[in-house]
Structure 1
Amino acid sequence: MKIVVIGGTGLVGSQVVRNLTDHGHEAVAAAPQTGVNTLTGEGLPEVLEGAQVVVDLSNSPSFAEEDVTSFFRTSTTNLLEAEAAAGVGHHVILSIVGTDRIDSGYMRAKVVQEDLVKASGAGWSIVRSTQFFEFLSSIADSGTVDGVAHVAPVRFQPIASSDVARFVARTAAGTPLNGTIEIAGPDVVGFDEIVREHLAAKGDPREVRADAEATYFGARLQDKDLVPHGEALLGEVGYDQWRAAQA
């Protein structure tokens, strides 16, 4: 089966391509550096020729609400139109656990993307994931003021990007869900606690302060915003295993 992975050269995308290839599929990594641009439509007809599935892992270079909303609206619309013309029967996107309850511009833009996919009239699957272990350092950086990292003391269930890629690849190789699944890591932890542990493991001397006013994608958090509500598929890799693999 030919499966085109938009954003297939990135952190998750490259692993999705590898997973699909290992299972005998023709997985094509599509990105601006390979001549495929979803914002302009460049290269889409060519790369989608003969494809049965498209996995969209693209992301906006800017997280400002107007920019990211425009990105997802334009990119998704161009993709869906090109897929309809090419006869693609399954569109898969990676979204975020909490998208519909975290009040931030980025999350509202992801809802726009999800709604476009749901309304497309073709087969679709949405995989909502919790945050990746790989972004713990950047989370600390974004919350750092005067050398102190401010992180909300809420529940958190991070996941390894390798597990995300495995779930996305499995979804792409299956029949359309015409629905949404949620995925998360195996363990629920304190958000501030794991950021503190992560910085300590890296030898980063910053203090991590539990701060109920700290924001995430520009939004204040409720205790359950970053964990799945209801049933979720759980990854196999916990933080300690992931950290050991990085070393």
Structure 2
Amino acid sequence: MRIGIAGGGGTVGGRVVEAARRRGHEAVILTRGAGVDVRDPAAVRGALDGVDAVVDVLNINTLNTRRATEFFAATTAALLEAGRAAGVGHHVALSIVGVDRAPYGYYAAKLAQERLVESGGVPWSIQRATQFHDFARQMYDGARLGPLHLAPRGRAQPVDVQEVADRLAEVVESGPQGRVTDLAGPREESLVRMVRDYARAQGVRGWIPEVSLPGGLGRAQRDGSLLPGRDAILGRRTFEAWLGELGQH
């Protein structure tokens, strides 16, 4: 199978490329670094010749609803338009567990992306996953008050990025299925503890106070809206295992 991977040079995408190749498929990387402007349907169309399926794991580092929505609207529309023209038989998009229960900020943009995929005219699958283990680093770096790092209160069930990549490869092979079963990590974690444990693993010994983030998304993190349901597929690698390996690199 020939698989186009939008965002194939990123954290998730690179692993999807590796997973596809391990399973005997040809991976076509769709990124600007590979010479493909993923916002331009014509450029994408040229890269999709002979492609059987597209996996979209594109990402943008912003919490701004407008910026994120504009990005996903442009890239998803281009991928779907090019996919229709090229006769792509399967469009697979990675989304986030709970986006419909917490349609705020970046999550609102991902929910809008799902709606585009559902109505895009290409047979589709959407795989929702919980946040990755690396979410602890993102929160540590992003939640700050001046020089002081903060630990946001929240409930999380982080999943290993490699397990997400392997699951996406399985979804591609299974053909279009619509919304597939959610994927999550093996157990629930405290986001406060995750952030503090990450900081300690980096040698930080200072005070990291816990805080409640404002707004709907902060509330959703605290009340469990972003946790998976009982039917979710659970990964095996724990946050603790991921954290233990950080010091080995």
State the alpha-carbon separation in 2 of the partners of residues 23 and 135 from structure 1: 28
How many residue pairs match? The answer is 246
2:57 is the counterpart of 1:57:
yes
- What is the 5 A alignment of 1:139-218? 139-211=139-211, 213-215=212-214
Amino acid at match of 2:17: V
- What is the 5 A alignment of 1:1-247? 1-211=1-211, 213-215=212-214, 219-221=218-220, 222-246=222-246, 247=248
The 1:217–1:180 alpha-carbon spacing in structure 2 relative to 1, beyond 3 Å, is farther
SS at structure 1 position matched to 2:28: strand
Question: After superposition, what is the alpha-carbon deviation per residue over 1:157-216, rounded to whole angstroms, capped at 9, x for unaligned?
Answer: 1112111111111112221111233111112111111211121122122423232x3258
Amino acid at match of 1:199: A
TM-score (structure 2 length as normaliser)? 0.91
Question: After superposition, what is the alpha-carbon deviation per residue over 1:126-165, rounded to whole angstroms, capped at 9, x for unaligned?
Answer: 1111111123122112112144433333321111211111
Query: CA contact under 8 A between 1:150 and 1:214: conserved in structure 2?
Result: no
SS at structure 2 position matched to 1:125: strand
SS at structure 1 position matched to 2:134: helix
SS at structure 1 position matched to 2:209: strand
State the alpha-carbon separation in 1 of the partners of residues 215 and 136 from structure 2: 12
Query: CA contact under 8 A between 2:152 and 2:192: conserved in structure 1?
Result: yes
State the alpha-carbon separation in 2 of the partners of residues 174 and 40 from structure 1: 28
The 1:106–1:53 alpha-carbon spacing in structure 2 relative to 1, beyond 3 Å, is same
Any unmatched runs of 5+ in structure 1?
A: none
Question: After superposition, what is the alpha-carbon deviation per residue over 1:20-65, rounded to whole angstroms, capped at 9, x for unaligned?
Answer: 1011011111100111112123521221111110001112354422
State the alpha-carbon separation in 2 of the partners of residues 152 and 62 from structure 1: 18
Amino acid at match of 2:87: G
State the alpha-carbon separation in 2 of the partners of residues 64 and 96 from structure 1: 17
Query: CA contact under 8 A between 2:102 and 2:217: conserved in structure 1?
Result: no
**Bigger mean CA deviation after superposition, 142-151 or 231-240:** 142-151
SS at structure 1 position matched to 2:113: helix
Cα displacement (A) at 1:235: 1.2
Query: CA contact under 8 A between 1:151 and 1:215: conserved in structure 2?
Result: no
Identity %: 35
State the alpha-carbon separation in 2 of the partners of residues 143 and 23 from structure 1: 39
**Bigger mean CA deviation after superposition, 41-50 or 184-193:** 41-50
Cα displacement (A) at 1:229: 2.6
TM-score (structure 1 length as normaliser)? 0.92
Question: After superposition, what is the alpha-carbon deviation per residue over 1:51-103, rounded to whole angstroms, capped at 9, x for unaligned?
Answer: 11000111235442222111111111111111011110110111111211224
**Bigger mean CA deviation after superposition, 113-122 or 38-47:** 38-47
Any unmatched runs of 5+ in structure 2?
A: none
Amino acid at match of 1:133: H
State the alpha-carbon separation in 1 of the partners of residues 99 and 130 from structure 2: 10
State the alpha-carbon separation in 2 of the partners of residues 216 and 24 from structure 1: 45
State the alpha-carbon separation in 2 of the partners of residues 15 and 245 from structure 1: 18
Cα displacement (A) at 1:111: 1.0
